[in-house]
Amino acid sequence: MNDQIPPTLSVSLARGLLSRRTLMIGAAGLGVTTLAACGSKGRSPSASGGTSASAKSAQDMSGSEKLVNWSNWPEYIDVDDKTQKRPTLEAFTKQTGIKVNYTEDYNDNDEFYAKVRPLLAAGNDTGRDVWCSTDWMVARLIRQGYVQKLDLANIPNHGNVEDSLKNVEFDPGRVYSLPWQSGFAGIAYNPKATGGKKIESVDQLLTDPSLKGKVTLLSEMRDSVGLVMLAMGKDITKFTDADFNAAIDEIKKAKDAGQLRGFTGNEYTKPLAAGDIAACIAWTGDVVQLQAENPSLGYVLPQTGCTLWSDNFVIPAMAKHKKNAETLINYYYDPKVMAQVVDYVNYIAPVKGAKEVLVKEDPSVAKNQLIFPDPQTLSRAHVFRGLTPAEETKYSAKWAELTAS
């Protein structure tokens, strides 16, 4: 299998990441063959989290109010490039009569958590009925009692969830969550800045003298530390304190040697495109968008592997329109609807049948390993294991110290 992104597989794309997502907007992109990870660093709160909000019930106004409030990451849903409207949302409202207040205010897991936690801890409504959190944040929300169990009777399409995403460590059996999109991280490089050299390993990033001062790692702990641990032969699904510390030491050596330009969110995109950054750990969505204008940019899946993440629908405690939120989730678990979304955002479809729809409607997307990875591609993907509250606090503190300028 060729790990280089094939520049000839052209697909539509207008999607980015801020913190793992970018606010840059692109309307076209290129297919890829990749793999990866996700997470957002930050100080962990106590496990108790105050009052268990989910133990309190809010009046479900779904019957009386045809409304659902959905918070999501920027540029993470299909958009009509001409009208700037969101076709699937408009179709949902037409089909159900339920209006969707769709807000792109989820810019970072910890930042969003800081906004809603005081309300949840006090047992108050957050003003949101559903949002999409990354795996490890879902684990925290479940642990603290801040999200509600899904009533699967209202989500009959839940059976369409891809088998690989059904039983996850943080939510066995998908009782509290269902995946919205999944994605990858890997190594990006600009051939003009590397002298034509391919950068295909974490070892090159950390030690190749020709890259000195032109390498960035992600400020997301689970991405950067996860890739380094994998390169060291560690199993990130069951690593120890010693494994984590060894990876931190390797990154510190590179930093102290001047190998690293710094640690970034997705602000690496413009410097990478310009050649100021020669190589970096990068998220696929960002690089695919950059390749729309600069197909020469390289992106590879290290032979040592990378980690896989998902963003997941959850319904917060005290949500006023829980049934409407479940109706919304069910709608997006229709393969035809999810196919429309992934055809635009180009992330991994969590819904069975979406690929078959796109085989007919957009074959280039259906063949794209980034969106519909085959077993060989997925075999290199590993999920950064869940952390205990104590580990999260300890590891985040070490990472914060390392990444401080």
What is the rounded distance in angstroms from the CA atom of residue 288 to the CA atom of residue 75? 14
Residue 287 and residue 5 in contact, taking contact as beta carbons nearer than 8 Å = yes
What is the rounded distance in angstroms from the CA atom of residue 383 to the CA atom of residue 153? 29
Report the pLDDT value the prediction gives residue 263, as an integer from 0 to 100: 94
| Nearest residue to 339 (alpha-carbon basis) of 362, 313, 311, 312 | 362
Report the pLDDT value the prediction gives residue 258, as an integer from 0 to 100: 98
| Nearest residue to 133 (alpha-carbon basis) of 32, 285, 20, 6 | 20
Instruction: Give CB contacts under 8 A, 24+ apart, made by 197-202.
Output: 198/4, 198/298, 198/300, 199/278, 199/279, 199/298, 199/300, 200/3, 200/300, 200/302, 200/303, 201/231, 201/302, 201/303, 201/304, 202/227, 202/228, 202/230, 202/231, 202/302, 202/304
Give, for all 405 residues of the chain, the pLDDT tens digit: 333 333 322 222 333 333 333 333 332 232 222 223 333 333 233 333 444 554 456 789 998 999 999 999 888 899 998 999 999 999 999 999 999 999 999 987 888 999 999 999 999 999 999 999 999 999 999 999 999 999 999 999 999 999 989 988 899 999 999 999 998 889 999 999 999 999 999 999 999 999 999 999 998 899 899 999 999 999 999 999 999 999 999 999 999 999 999 998 778 989 999 999 999 998 877 787 688 789 999 988 899 998 788 999 999 999 999 999 999 999 999 999 999 999 888 888 999 999 999 999 999 889 988 788 888 888 888 889 888 889 999 999 999 999 997
Report the pLDDT value the prediction gives residue 52, as an integer from 0 to 100: 53
What is the rounded distance in angstroms from the CA atom of residue 325 to the CA atom of residue 150? 10
What is the rounded distance in angstroms from the CA atom of residue 187 to the CA atom of residue 199? 7
Report the pLDDT value the prediction gives residue 370, as an integer from 0 to 100: 73
